[in-house]
Structure 1
Amino acid sequence: MSLALNGLCRYPVVQAPMAGGASGPPLAAAVSDAGGLGFLAAGYRTADGMRDEIGRLRGMTGRPFGVNLFMPQPPPAGTDAVEAYRRRLADEAVRYGTPPGDPGGDGDDGYEAKIAILLDDPVPVVSFTFGCPAPEVLGALAGAGTFTMVTVTSVQEARDARRAGAQAVCVQGTEAGGHRSTHRDDPQGGLTGTGLLSLLAEVRESVRIPVVAAGGLMRGSQIAAVLAAGAEAAQLGTAFLPCPESGAHPLHKQALTDPLFVTTALTRAFSGRPARGLVNRFVREHGACAPAAYPQVHRMTGPLRKAAALAGDAQGMALWAGQGHRMARALPAGELVELLVAEMDAAAAAVSGRSAR
């Protein structure tokens, strides 16, 4: 079995890039070595930090891997809502003994510098979140031998990515954990979305480039389902969070199956952009009031989230997770890839057997 995305991996299993430290070199290397496609998350990293992680990963595996970039974000429409949210966080500052962070600065995440590094020293795959690069950027990366993929949450975004020259799209259903990858955050309708199977079918009928499916996938049988629906591969994030190679905080890993955390919700509470996470005290108390202001809100809550983690208080942390989080399995990443493939093959065989009757 081979993945049609330029033969980049043996199995159609892509480890999602999870910014904030979860998907560093150890996790990406383990997944790639097991026959999947491991990903580094360059979001929130400096350009030099990204370069260092690529170097570390190359020292850990000789297999192909990917790097994910955040697209630059426009400034929020106004600062009043940001300042009001900062005032709202005063009680959190008292609770954790640290003030909110400075919301200032631009939202480009070092994009130009990171692109320059990836053109100077190409990697096998580069994917993009929160927007679509200019055709010139995608063309330059392809010319350097890099396979390019843009994450999309609608048919229109998929069409835009195809027209810009993306070689594949990652279709993200609303079930996915972490940030919604919408190209433009709609302050009025950002906390909604289309389910993966419906969106996958719509995109497959609208664009003729390879599609990777993402959103709430935790079992090999679900991978078999999205492959049958036309995806070339499945991208899983939450499934890899509890792996020992994951850099996620231990409290985050434990919370995935903790009975205290039953549901997930899309919220702007931690970053100012819609993101799916476990519903905890912070989400309940602040989610309805958080403005559409990314990365300003992310910067403000950063010190509070770190202080909550240091205090061992998961109720104040951003516990990103997809809707299937209760099915998380704390296995080494290589073993998890093998199990997912075995489950996928078993599901495909069961369907084939039923159809042959």
Structure 2
Amino acid sequence: MSGISRREMLTGSMAAGCGCLMGSVVASSDGAALIGGEQQGEVVFKKPYGGVKRLGEGVYAVVSTPFLSNGKIGDLTTHCNGGLVAGEDGVLAFDAYRTMEGAVWVGEVSMALFGRLPTHVACSHFHFDHIGGIAGFFDKAYVPEIIMTETTYRLALDHYAKVVVPEDGSVYGEHGLEKWGGQFVSPTNIVINEEEGLTVDLGGRVVRLTPMRGHTQSDLIAEVDDPAVTFSGDLVWNGIFPNFMSAIPSLYVRSVEKILERKNAIVIPGHGMDARADSMGMVSYGELQQLIEMEAKRDYKRGQAIDQAVSEFKIPKRLGYWKYFKPNFHEVAFKAWYRELAEK
């Protein structure tokens, strides 16, 4: 690994005072302008695609900044958010980002902060932007403990382990993650019992890993105390409209409510800015999930077509301004709800 220079550390520290990380802001009279500006911690490392923020002793958030100032999508090297939690005996990395390059950088940050690479990598769910970079945490013969639920591993195998033949008919194909800059890696610790949580003892620091469901069939969150921090994966989004592509919507909204009950905790969402669970941004996200549920159920009961329901769906200004990775995410959300309601 090339390591991180002192200059980069200093540049990152200076970035904390200039508001360099992306925020989703809307000007309105009811306080929604605060959404996205409620970040916690101090930026200590900075790259064009994201920053690392110190939240407390041994606890750091990796916050990606995938949007340019004009709202368009920019550098997706890390793409998602994650974090590093260190104890006396080990370091846990939460999530593994889109590309190996992104994970290599986070590994270099871990070396700079703690003098070691992550000893554990906990993957929140199977989507490519959260598991693609796992191999970036490897160094020669060194492999960390890689934690996934059994369901996440199965879904990752189904989606990304097979070789995809190129459309141009060429002989050489690539595995599903490679087209995004990632590489498929199997876990070394598969969580079989997804009804109970587990703990990782890092030496003087315990990380609680709790299986949940909603964004996908299996989602894993991580919680630490002192400081109180929740790494939520894509169960929580802040200022970026959530992706319902693989969702079980009724479980999604309930999991969000459960996470936000820990009101004193700093929440590191899967995408968007970190904020306290009781902040305006997080409260707005919870209300957005409830609004989607209410309107989808109402429209389905009326027999309204999905395209009409989507065209009539509007996010109230009081919930703030939301950015989108894809412009059809309203439709994706309503389709997920209609699909679940049709199965009941």
TM-score greater than 0.5 by the shorter chain: no
Hey, which of these two has a bigger chunk of helix by percent? 1
Higher relative contact order (CA closer than 8 Å, sequence separation 6+): 1
Hey, which of these two has a bigger chunk of strand by percent? 2
TM-score (norm 2): 0.31
TM-score (norm 1): 0.30
